[in-house]
Amino acid sequence: MTDLESVSNLQQTAESNVLVNVQEMQFLLDKAVAWGQADSPDTLKDTCLHLNRLENFLQQLLTYINSMKSTAETMKKLPFLGQFLGRLCWNPCVTAGGTSRGLLLQCLLGLYSEHPSNAVERKANQWIRKVLCQLATDEDDAAAQAFMRRMGVPAKEYHLRVLQKMVAQLQENIGQSCCSQSSIDQRCSCDSTLATSDLVVPLVTCPETFPLICSLLQQPVACVRETLSENFLDTLSFAHSRLPLEEQGRISVWYHSLPSLEEAVLGLLDSVTETRPSLLKLEQEVTKSLLPKACAQHCSMFLVANDIFRSVIKQAEGNQSVKSVIHTFTRCFWRELSLLKPQTSASLKAFFPQSPPSLLIPLLTMPSEMPREAWKNHSKWLSSSLQKLTEEEEGDGDSTSTRGHHSVFEAWFLLVQCEHWVQVAAQLLVTSGPEDCRPLLWLLTFYHHPTNRWHHRASQLEKAKAAWDHLHAISSDLNDPLPVDRLQSLIALLSPQPQMPPPASSLILSLVVEFAVFCQLPLRAATDILKTVVAQPGLSEEAACVLSSLQLRLNEGGCSSSDRVQLRINHLQNTLTDVKA
């Protein structure tokens, strides 16, 4: 279509720039004529398929009508408007759908002139009244109308009851089990389920048909055929935020419709990385999203969610809030899975097909699930296993091998999902001697700087070791005052230096926080250290984050922390708030 042609297809109002696509109107008018000619399920289905397009056009039309000076002018510009709207009034799909009905009625009422100034407008007013009155009162079933009159039943109540009965009957029908396993040619209830799902598209906004929609969604996918129509699922995934769907209904929408699942996962990521809630809040948000529950029920959904997380974290790997979401999500998922465990048959391997199998259970195990004395050995074992894996893959000589990168990435991704062991290693570092600190530091470094090439893991490890040395020395020296030179060197490690890789601030900061909480120094001294360190720009917030994550972990799962630790955390948190203020 040339530009000139496309301009001629648009009808513009005189006063404003509101446009109506005449070609679209012609297309939809032809459709409306065709729909009106046959009252078959196929025409209803075709209407349902075009409902969204029709709604968009009616919206356009409504804006156009409202922007015109008079109805006479509108009718002159769009001579087929009356015919178009009139035909739509007698299409049950259009009048059943909440949005389409609303727009259609508003268009009609928009054309009604309060003070008709000519014959066209007077005639239009008459016609609109007639159409509206017929719409509201017309009964095509004479026997039913006579029956209502004889029984003294108002039409409103009668139609509501018929609809509710119909919904109940259809629900029962849908509930019947699928029989097509015996023969593919045989008709089975899934056929009618599919047909029903096609037709309920306009009804997703109708509260009375809502139970039917829930029943449709609870259909198990047992049949060889498609059981729910694509149009139905698309409509639902678009409308689900406005629907009071129950938990299982929402999960079913995701299960049947991949785009809606993707939308939900991305929506969760967006909302929590934007608002950056506290970790406790984050966990509530993630649980509320129902996604962990859904993923525990359906392995395929977990795989999809994780693929989304993978690609997001590849783009924003340094982003701690993304990491927190992934860790929180995995923890919530793990909890839901353990609630389902007795019934579920999917093996863990099915949920984590790409993760290194030997590390799977050891990492997914929560620290609270093993005795505290075993933490150190477990963390050291995790560290050495991961170290071995990275050395094998990186030491292949061929450092560009994609397979190698891939398996290192998968190991690291699993560690992000199971961040609790990184936190445990950081805590253990406070009380460890030099003999244990290497492997624990390596685990922390790997978490923050997964590759050697891009992240300079080796040099970061050295920095972390230096920071640990300083912290170890400061915290072993119980005499006042604090060794200023040590503190200065520690701060220097956190400052950017030219020609050097970016400072390992997150890593070192988490070490500082762990030391401040768990070391033997008096609280005042620990507070001073933290205060001095976070005086650096931008560090106090991150330190607060580490603290709250620590607090959450300690409160959770029976990791009973002593009163002393609790007190120290609270005090340090207050200090950080003061610093920020």
* Binding footprint of other proteins on the chain (CB under 8 A): 40-41, 44, 92-96, 98-99, 101-102, 105-106, 109, 112, 114, 126, 129, 132-133, 135-137, 141, 143-144, 146-156, 158-163, 165-167, 169-170, 173, 192, 195-196, 199-200, 202-203, 205-206, 208-209
Of 44 and 545, nearer to other proteins (C-beta) is 44
Task: Tell the smallest beta-carbon distance from residue 242 to other proteins (Å).
Answer: 9
Sign of CA dihedral 340, 341, 342, 348: positive
- How many CA atoms within 13 Å lie on the side-chain side of 133? 6
Cα–Cα distance between 530 and 536 in angstroms, integer? 11
Nearer to other proteins by Cβ, of 82 and 110: the residue is 110
Task: Name the minimum Å distance from CB 124 to other proteins.
Answer: 12
Burial class (CB within 10 angstroms; exposed 0-12, middle 13-18, buried 19+) of 157 = exposed
* Minimum CB–partner distance for residue 33 and other proteins (Å): 19
Phi, psi of 367 (to 5 degrees): -55, -35
Closest to other proteins by CB, 170 vs 418, is 170
Q: Measured from the CB of residue 255, what is the shortest distance to other proteins in angstroms?
A: 23
Q: By C-beta, is 161 or 349 nearer to other proteins?
A: 161
Tokens of 413: 């991704």
170: tokens are 């259809």
CA-closest candidate to residue 74, choices 5, 125, 12: 12
Nearest distance from C-beta of residue 94 to other proteins, angstroms: 8
* CA-CA-CA-CA dihedral for 143, 149, 151, 153, to nearest 10: 110
The CB-of-264 to other proteins minimum distance in angstroms stands at 23
Which residue from 202, 210, 170 is spatially nearest to 49, judged by alpha carbons?
202
Q: Which residue's CB is nearer to other proteins, number 242 or number 406?
A: 242
Contact 579, 540 (CB under 8 A): yes
Residue whose CB is less far from other proteins, 6 or 164: 164
In 3D space, the residue among 553, 552, 536, 543 whose CA is nearest the CA of residue 573 turns out to be 543
Q: Which long-range contacts (CB under 8 A, 24 or more apart) does 439-443 make?
A: 439/379, 439/380, 439/383, 439/384, 439/387, 440/379, 440/380, 440/383, 441/465, 441/468, 442/383, 442/387, 443/379, 443/382, 443/383, 443/386
Nearer to other proteins, 207 or 522 (CB): 207
The least CB distance from residue 234 to other proteins, in Å, is: 18
The least CB distance from residue 60 to other proteins, in Å, is: 16
CB of 101 to other proteins, least distance (A): 6
Closer Cβ to other proteins, 135 or 579, answer by number: 135
Nearer to other proteins, 151 or 361 (CB): 151
Q: How many helices (H) and strands (E) does the chain have?
A: 31, 2
Which residues are registered as beta bridge partners of 19?
12
**Which pair of tokens denotes residue 518?**
């768990």
